Each structure stands twice: as C-alpha cells, then as structure tokens.
Amino acid sequence: MILRNSLIFSCFFLSISTLLQYSTGKSERSLYCFVNTPDRQIFDPNVLSNVSCTHFVYGFVPINNPKGKPEFNNYDLMYNGRDGNIRKFLRLRSKHRDAKFLLGVERTASFRDVIDAQNVAKGMQKAYKEKQFDGVYVKFNGYHLSQLSSVVFMETLETSTMKPSIGVTAERVWQNDVINRLREIAEHVEHIYLDMSTVPSNEDPMIVTQVDVVFANGSIPYEDTIQGNVDKLAEEGIMPHKLIIGLSASGWVFKVPSVLKINHGMYADEIGRRISYQNACKARGAVLFDNKTLNEITIRGQDWTCANLPSENALGMKIEWILDNNFAGVGFNSIFEDDPKGECGNDPLPSHVLAMQTILGTLPSGPAKCTRLCYISPEEIDDNFPFDSLKSEFCSHIIVDYLELGDSIQFGVGELTTKRKGVEELLKKLNTWRRKIGEKNSPSLILSVGSNQKSSVWKFVVGNDALRKLLVDNIMKYVDEEIADGVEISWTKESMIDVFDKKNLMSLIEEINSKQEKDNLIEIMVAASAESTFANFYDIAQLNRTVDLVVLQTHKLHSNKIPFTGHPSPLRATPSMQNQKMSIEEMVKHWTSQGMSRKRLAISISASAISMSYISPDQKSISKSPFGQVASVFRSDSDDIKTQQEICESLQMETSESNWVETADVPVILRKNQLIAYENLRSAQVKAVWASIEGIGMAIHNLPADDPFGICDNRTAFPILTQLTRTQTCSKCIKQHDFRKCQHDFTVSCSFDLKSSKPIFKTSIVPYERCTEIVVEQLKLNSTGKIVFADKNQENVAKNLTTLHSKMEKCGLIMSLSCGSNERDFTRLLVDKMNSTIDNILQKMREYKFSGILLDCEKVVKRTNHRQFNTFLKTLQEKLDSQKAANNCSNTISIRFSDKTSSPNSLYQISQLNKLSHVALSNIDAKRVDQQFLGSHAKSTEQVLSRWLVSGVKPSKIVLEISPFAIKQSKNGTVSTLTQGQVCESVGNRAVFDEDFLDLVSTVGHDAGIISSPTVATFKYKIGFAVREELAGIGIRSVNGDDFTGICGRGSFPILKSVYRKDKC
C-alpha cells in the first residue's frame, strides 16, 4: 500500500479537530461534479442518475462585462422553444435535495480597480439568484489573484446565506502573490478547489506530465504533486478543511521519442493533448500500471497515454489518502470526460462513482486523546442507531455487553456462558463503523462479562476451580474470535457477599493474566460497584498490579428503587443525602487512599435519567433540598423521562422547573410530583474537568439515550459525549527540562514584571531553573525607533537581571517589546526607519544580554501597515538567525496576541508565524486575570485557540499564556488584583475555597468581599489542555503573581512548580 506507507504529511493537519465545532456527526466530505456541457449540445440530466454529489457546478459562463452579468448562450436558457440546459440542470434538485447547485463563472478580463470588482460581484449576485442557483463557483483566467481586487470581489460576493467557492489550478499556487491573495480570500469562501489538472510543468506544453501524482518521486518534482501544493497552501494557513482536491477524469496523450524511456518532465515531440477517459480506455497498445504514481499508462508506437484508472487500487487509493488527511473532499473536472455512456464496459461515470462510494465508506477520524469509555448493550441498539454520527475521537474504548453467565449453572444444568441476545448483530454494525474510521483511529473493543448476573451465580462460578478455569478459557476464546482488545469483568448487578468473593475475583483475574501471550496482550478491566467498594470487597492493592483499568460505576450511586430522592452521579454529597458516601468524590477517595493509581481509574456517568415520585407536597422544600426526600417505591415507570431528547422536551413545558443542585453539581427537573435526576452539558463539563484535574479517566453508559440524532439543538449528536470530549484533558507527565540545554520538549515561558511590587520581588529569586525562558516585561518602541524603559527603576531592575546570566545557563532571557499604541507612528517607522529600528533592537539585546525577543505589536498592526509589518518580522528574524544569542543558543523571536485578533489570516503571513520560536496567545484582561477558559464565547481561550489553529498556525508553535493573579471584589463594588501571596495574607492559609469547574477559579468569602483565584488544580487543568492539543507549551504571566515568598505554606512558586509532576515520568 504505497500511499499508506508514505504519509509524511505535516502532523498538525489532524490536530485541530478537538476544538472545531462538532456538528451532527454526519460525513462532511464533499464531492464536486462539474456539468460543463459541450458547445451546442443539450444536457441530459439522466447522465447523473447513478451518482450523488454534494455540489453540482454548471458552467463555465463568462462574466467579462462591467456589470457582472453572465454571458449565457441560447442552449443555457432556451433552445427551439424548449427548456434550456440551466433549467434541466436545476431539476436535479428533486433527486438531490441536500446538494448545492452552483453557477460556475469565469473571468478573463482584469478588474480596473476595486470599485469595478465590487460592481461585477453585485451584478453576479443578482444574476445567480434570478436563475435560482444556490451559489457561485468562481474561476479566474488571468492574473486576478495577484491583485487586491480579487479579494474585494470574493468578499462582496459572499452573502449571509451562502459562501462562494473558488477554483485555482496547481500551476497558480506557486506564482508570486497568489498564495497571499488566497489566504485573504479563504475566510470568504466555503471551499478552495485545488485543480490538479494543470501543474507548473504544464507551463511548457511540450513537457510530459503524469496525472494527479500524490507524492514526489524520481522525475516528478514536489511542485507537480498534490502533497507539494497542499503543503504550500498550508504554510499560508489554508488548511485541509477548506480544500477540495480536484482530480482528473481525463488524461494526457503525448507523442514521444521513445515510449519505454519517457518520464514525467521530459520533452515530447509534439504538444500534449487532453484525452477523455472513454477514449483513453479504448486506446490501443500495451497497458502498464505505474506503481509509484498509481496511473494507467498505455504505449503504442510514439503515443504515450496517461490516465487515472477508476479502481480501488489506483484512483481509489488517491481518494482514500485525501480523505484520510481530512481534506474537505474531492472533485473531477468534467462529467463528460468520465465515460458518461459507459463505453469502457463499466458503469457510467466510473471515477465519480468510485469517489462517491469511497466517501460513503469512510468517516473523518482522529484518535481519542484521553481515556474515555463508551458502553453499548445489544438491547439498547436498534436498526436506526446512527453509528456514523459517533466520531472516532469520542471513545478510546467501546465496551460491549457481551457474555452472560448461565443462571442455572449453579443447579448443574445449562451452559456456563452464553452470548447476549443480539450481540452478534451489534458487533457487525460496530465493526462496519470501525472499518469506516480505519484501524489507526478505531477505538479498542472490550467485551464485558457478567454485568447482568446475580451475585449467587458469580459466587458459584468463580468459587469453583473447574468452572472458573472453564470461564477463563471461554473468555479468551471469545476475545480471540471477535478480535477484541480486552475484557471487562463486571460483577456489579449486586454487591459481592463476603471476603471469599474478594479472593475468588482476584483468582479469576490472575488466571486470565496467566493465559495471556507476551506478544499479544489484551487489556483487563474491572467494573466496580459502590456497594462492593464501601464493603471493602475489592483487593485494591492487588488490582493495582494486575489490571489495566478499574471503572467505578459512579453512575449508579442512587436508584429509584430506594425510598428517598437522590441523584445517580453527584460529584459531592449534599447534607440532605441519606448516605454521605454515595458521591463520586468519596468513591474515588476510597480507591486512591488504598493505593490505586489514578491512571488506572475511570469514573462513570450515564446519558439516561432516572425519575422518582416524591411524597411531600411541599414544592418549596423540594426545590431548596431535592435530595433525601421521601419517595414512593410503588410507582409506574410508564411516564418516566429517560433520554436527553425527552429531557429537552420536558424543559420546554410550563409544568417543569429546572434546578441546579450546588455541592453535588448536578441538575434536576421538578415536574408535578416527579423529580428527574439527569446529566446535562454543565454537569458533564464539571465532571470532565474534575476528572482531568484528578488524573483519572471517564466512561459514559446508555449511549443511545444521548440524543444520537441531534434533535435537541438540531445540530449536535451525542451532546453529553461531545461535551466530555471537548472538556476532558489527559493525565500526561511533563518531564522537567534541563535549563542547561538549549532545546526543550515543552516550553515554560515565565514573564517577569519590571514594575516594583510589595513585597519586593528580588531578581535573585527569579526561578530560571524551572523556566525555559524568562520574559522581561516590558520595554517599549518609541516614535523615533529607540528602545526605552518605562522609568529608571525598571532599567535598574533589568541591569540586575543581567547579573544572573552565568547562573541561568541556557535559560533564555527574553526582551518583551511593546510597539506602542499609535498606529501612525508605528507605520512611519516601518516605512521610513525599518532598518535602523531593527538595529536598535539588536543593540538593546546585546546590551542587556537578551537571547530573544517577544513582540507585543497587536494594537498597532492594521490593514494599513500589515504588509510592512510582515516584512519587518521576516527581516528581524533573518538578522537574529545570523548570529548566536548571549546564552550561546540560537536567538529566539516570538510574538504575542490576544482575543482581539479575530482573523489572523487577514493581517499576518501564517508561513512566517510558523517559522518563529512560538506564538503566545494571551487571553488575559485588563485586571491581569484570565478570561473565560472554556466555552463557545468568542473571547474564551478555547475559541481564541481554535481560531488560530484553523488559521494554520501549527499547534507546536503556540504557547498559552496563563495568569496566576486573583481578583478581590469588595462589597462597595471596587475590584482589585491580588497575587497568590496576597490572597493568603487576606484569608489565611487554611481558608476553604469553593471550586468552580466551569470558570476554573476558586472563590472564598472575605470580610471585605469575595476573592476569586486560580489554584494549582486549575493550572493543572489548563496545562493538561495544552498537552492534549499538542501545543508548544504554556506561559505564566507573570511569576510576580505567584506566591514567590512562600507565605501560603506550600513553598515558593507553587503555581509554577505545578507544571511538573512530583513523580518521575
């Protein structure tokens, strides 16, 4: 499999998926089909009867007049009194209701200016709407993409309801300024169609070229390949999710001196000509298959013919590669060149059909980055369950309720084990889904054993040596037959009975381990119930050594069979709960206190709700304290609300009241005399954040109850699971770097404020040994191009820092440089004094032994000067790269941005940003505290990061800046900023903070008001978030806000020290 073994694509293509908005989960891959009817011919819609496209493009129609009116011909509109080709084309809507029908237009004439471009676009808008097209596909024949007017044209053409698409040939991608225009155009279009039919070598029509080559090899240059072009586009921030790869249904035929010695790039005897597939397949001669390019070559005499072979092992592999790398889709240059009449002996349109089938047979996929188990039972899954809406990154493991123990075995009759009814059909559907995802990103398959058996059955089987051995043999046989990755032992329906059960369960696990083959190990999991946990029926120390994971069934901490109200999965116990142990926190604490490793633990939640009928008529009492109330156990469950969809519907009723239960951090619904306990997006996020901080995994049960069709918001399938995926981070160890070395795997950038503070932060205690760089905040670029300090005191502090230079070894001392706040002054410097300004920067770096620079210029880089700034950035980097830094490492250059840059591509060259040491994202407000971290709000760190990743900046170049400062809100309304040390001075070391896992802060009441502060725990979460997204690292802005004196009793710099694990990696 040539292409599969050659995937050397930039890895950052796959890393933005976690932060992109999850939709309904349906395949988002597009198939573009071009209906460019030959001149003076009538279009027959039946030619498309066997193919389904997402985008049908009619054209191409010239738009060279100043008013943008398409120059339709008679066949387009009407012919001999009959419907024209456009009307016949649009009738395809009746069969392709979800497809978009685009008017394809081409412009050859240049735009006189931007006003001309706007007028043409407005005329074009009016025309395509009059003809009832859904949108426009634009093709420029000329040098339009070298001019700003092309950006204005596409921007004007964009409407609130429809983004246009634009086509560009591979040949144009490598031309000057074109790539920059495409970068600016990208945000205004739905797709950029990369037409591979014309590559740079085709500039000379005498040069022999192959068709749609994916990788450079031998005589095929990088610029002529799909990989080369998409890499070039990605460098400028045009990412795969925007690109449609345009393939050729047609081929090339050349007259050559020797058909046996010809290669791509050599000269032919005559100009090459296009050949349709229906003609290529009928070409006489010897037919060869080129394994390197996956093309079919036909040779006869001097004729050398090259075309795509529409089979799974040729063109199919190219399409698979495109889909595997998460491109938006594929297209072909013309349906009329793809054997529309089936003359080659196969079905009509073979390339289009192959693409359609490949798209339907694959799903966008990425790996699950954290331990997240998804439970599925055969009785829950019907024929309509939408497996294709289940994204591969949702689940690290799929647990299938697979094997039952025979209830009658204890009486000496029946089989020891039987498969659950319907499990074989379930596994067929599951394996079909896993094949679509691909083996690389497919979740592990785990077979669950005995979840529905009573304890008497379990006790009899595992207590009998012979039966236990037989059970182990059966388990291993089924794991082998189903090609499963592991097994879960689930003695959970009832509690274990005595200590003998504890011993026998361990014997079962040890015997499973003894059956394992060293080169084919399976995962062994144990499901643990709350009842057996608190009865001490698990040998926790031994389990820690013998199993891969213990799944705590924290989704069953309460049942509607109990005569009191409660919740199945409260994070913490409320005072009114009858059993204070029945909380997630207490169950986890029980296991970890007895030596269970956190990395071997997972907590569970359920997408399903439970309903209870309370007896008390006092609605106010129930609202105030919903748990611990007397409930009826004699009730019918016919009206019970169980699924997320039913919950949504209930919340819309006037009789339903939604309550959030503090402390437990769970929602309930009060409806008449019913209490409905369930999970929602908020509680799922709280638990995901809590589990992430604790370093444990998660599991979700009753998956079909999680609104799999996205009915609640008409968009998001599996909303609870989606929320877990979005907010759960992974427990991964960050090894402390060696500050005596130049290179580091994870950046820890520590900002140091030159401003004076109380108590005084002495430069001698700057924690350089725990930082990869110390960023000195902040020098300023004045209107004359000089680098200045805010005052003499700050200058003296900076001089004192230079005395640490020898001790800091390779830890960088970085100059943070503000470009000021006056756009006009900064523009004047860029235009008139760029070189002298750069010289001043370099001089200041030498004077203070700075080994790098962090530019803080966002306020003054605008549309009027962004091109000059990009030149300034490039020139400064070239100068820094040409000399060694003061610490004998390479000089570094980085740049800082905030949430205010909403469209990075419009101002900055992404390729240049990806060459910097890093890009610092600082989502810190004027009070120096972090803004909202998670959430859909445009200013949340999650969304800010998403914008930069989508823009094309590599995750490995992004550093997230985090603030350790706290906020004190006084009773009189005044707000002030506190350091961690000042927080402890205000409330004492033993103050109990209320943790807010939504806003990632902790709050505590104070005599003068309320203090909200980040903690070591919330920092750990944010660091885990950066690690999950494979970012370059984190920045602490600034260490002055940490407890640098150690007054809080945890030693100095507790926030900074939390970056690294205490135990060894």
8-state DSSP, 9: -
8-state DSSP, 770: G
Residue type, 793: N
Sign of CA dihedral 482, 483, 487, 492: negative
For 95-128, give the DSSP string: T-TT-EEEEEEEE-SPPSSHHHHHHHHHHHHHHH
Flag the least confident range among 55-69, 251-265, 399-413, 616-630. 616-630
State residue 219's pLDDT score. Answer: 86
Active site (annotated) includes residue 858:
yes
Q: Which of 184, 296, 858, 942 is catalytic?
A: 858
Secondary element (H or E) of residue 304: strand 303-308
Place of tokens 């090459």: 272
User: Residue 193 is encoded by which pair of tokens?
Assistant: 């169609």
Please give the model's pTM, rounded to 2 decimal places: 0.90
Flag the least confident range among 220-234, 399-413, 518-532, 894-908. 399-413
* Residue 667, pLDDT above cutoff 50: yes
Cis check: omega of the bond before 606, within 30 degrees of 0 = no
| Model pLDDT for residues 938-955, shown as the tens digit of each residue | 899 999 999 999 888 999
Contact in structure between 291 and 245 (CB atoms under 8 Å): no
- Phi, psi values for residue 181, rounded to 5°: -65, -40
* Average pLDDT taken over every residue of the chain: 92
Q: Which residues pair with 1 in a beta bridge?
A: none
| Model pLDDT for residues 854-894, shown as the tens digit of each residue | 999 999 999 999 999 999 999 999 999 999 999 999 999 99
* Residue 646, pLDDT above cutoff 60: yes
Mean pLDDT of 758-762: 86
The span from the CA of 616 to the CA of 28, in Å, is 51
Where do the domains of the chain lie, and which CATH numbers do they carry?
4-249+309-360 (3.20.20.80), 372-607+679-727 (3.20.20.80), 747-964+1015-1057 (3.20.20.80)
SS3 of 932-959: the string is CCCCCCCCCHHHHHHHHHHHCCCHHHEE
734 pLDDT band (50/70/90 cuts)? confident
Burial class (CB in 10 A: 0-12, 13-18, 19+), 262: buried
The span from the CA of 331 to the CA of 414, in Å, is 58
Contact in structure between 129 and 164 (CB atoms under 8 Å): no
E strands present in 633-722:
656-661, 666-671, 674-677, 697-701
Tell me what percent of the residues of the chain surpass a pLDDT of 70.
96
| Model pLDDT for residues 117-130, shown as the tens digit of each residue | 999 999 999 999 99
Mean pLDDT of 896-920: 93
Q: Order of strands, edge to edge, in the sheet holding 1009-1013?
A: 975-978, 966-970, 1009-1013, 1001-1006, 994-996
| Model pLDDT for residues 782-833, shown as the tens digit of each residue | 999 999 999 999 999 999 998 888 889 899 999 999 999 899 999 999 999 9
SS3 of 584-614: the string is HHHHHHHHHHCCCCHHHEEEEEECCCEEEEE
State residue 9's pLDDT score. Answer: 40
8-state DSSP, 1038: -
